[in-house]
């Protein structure tokens, strides 16, 4: 049997309504060619898995149920990612720490205020205007607009934020689309049916 002949027979076999309880057994000729042909074999194997269905069920990682039980019992946050220490620190903040932009601003006659410069970058190639709005700028979309100087669709801005505080924010695109940071691990309800991203630095 050639691969072309096999493909035709393969299609005829799959045309049975196997999702309706029919269980068409695979013709021996299809199996014979499929098992000896590196081009047709994987397609046959995939079809057999889909027809039978159940073999495509996948076992969870070892100990997953136990970890969930333990977490629920302890009342702790359920997340158990290996990178748990990073949870709560959105990517923007991490970037800053990585780059080491730690600033200490001192006002005359006042105690030192530690700030960290956070660089926000947003990939939005279709946007005409992007702002970051948060509790640090009283949610004013006019104060901190991102720029895309090289026209690559990545909008950016660097903003000094107080260290040790929780900052909530969203992006505002073209003055009408409010978007929480899709990468932020922490989000809270904004009271208007949406969510704010949370940045803890």
Q: Is 69 in the site for other proteins (CB under 8 A)?
A: yes
- Candidate residues 23, 25, 28, 73; the one interacting with other proteins per rule CB under 8 A: 73
Q: What are phi and psi of 35, to 5 degrees?
A: -75, -15
Decide: is 120 part of the binding site for other proteins (CB under 8 A).
Answer: yes
Beta carbons of 87 and 79 less than 8 angstroms apart: yes
Closest by CA position to 175, among listed 135, 123, 134, 140? 140
Q: Give me the helix-helix angle, 41-52 and 3-14, nearest 10°.
A: 10
Interface with other proteins, residue 11, by CB under 8 A: yes
Closest CA to 199 of 100, 177, 188: 188
Binding other proteins (rule: CB under 8 A), the pick from 30, 92, 146, 161 is 92
Residues that bind other proteins (CB under 8 A): 3-4, 7, 10-11, 14-15, 17-20, 39-50, 53-54, 56-61, 64-65, 67-69, 71-73, 78-83, 86, 90-92, 94-95, 98-99, 120-125, 154, 171, 179, 181-184
């Amino acid at each position: 049997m050639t691969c072309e002949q096999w493909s035709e027979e393969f299609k005829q076999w799959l045309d049975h309504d196997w999702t309706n309880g029919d269980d068409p057994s695979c013709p021996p000729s299809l199996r014979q060619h499929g098992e000896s042909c590196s081009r047709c074999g994987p397609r046959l194997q995939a079809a057999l898995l889909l027809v039978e269905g159940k073999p495509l069920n996948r076992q969870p990682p070892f100990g997953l149920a136990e970890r969930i039980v333990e977490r629920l019992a302890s009342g702790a946050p359920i997340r158990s990612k290996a990178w748990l220490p990073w949870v709560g620190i959105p990517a923007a903040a991490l970037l800053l720490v990585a780059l080491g932009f730690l600033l200490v601003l001192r006002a005359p006659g006042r105690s030192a205020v530690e700030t960290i410069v956070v660089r926000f970058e947003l990939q939005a190639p279709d946007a005409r205007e992007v702002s970051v709005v948060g509790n640090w700028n009283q949610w004013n979309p006019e104060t901190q607009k991102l720029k895309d100087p090289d026209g690559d669709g990545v909008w950016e801005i660097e903003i000094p934020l107080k260290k040790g505080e929780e900052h909530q924010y969203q992006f505002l695109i073209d003055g009408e689309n409010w978007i929480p940071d899709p990468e932020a691990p922490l989000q809270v309800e904004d009271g208007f049916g949406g969510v704010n991203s949370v940045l803890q630095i």
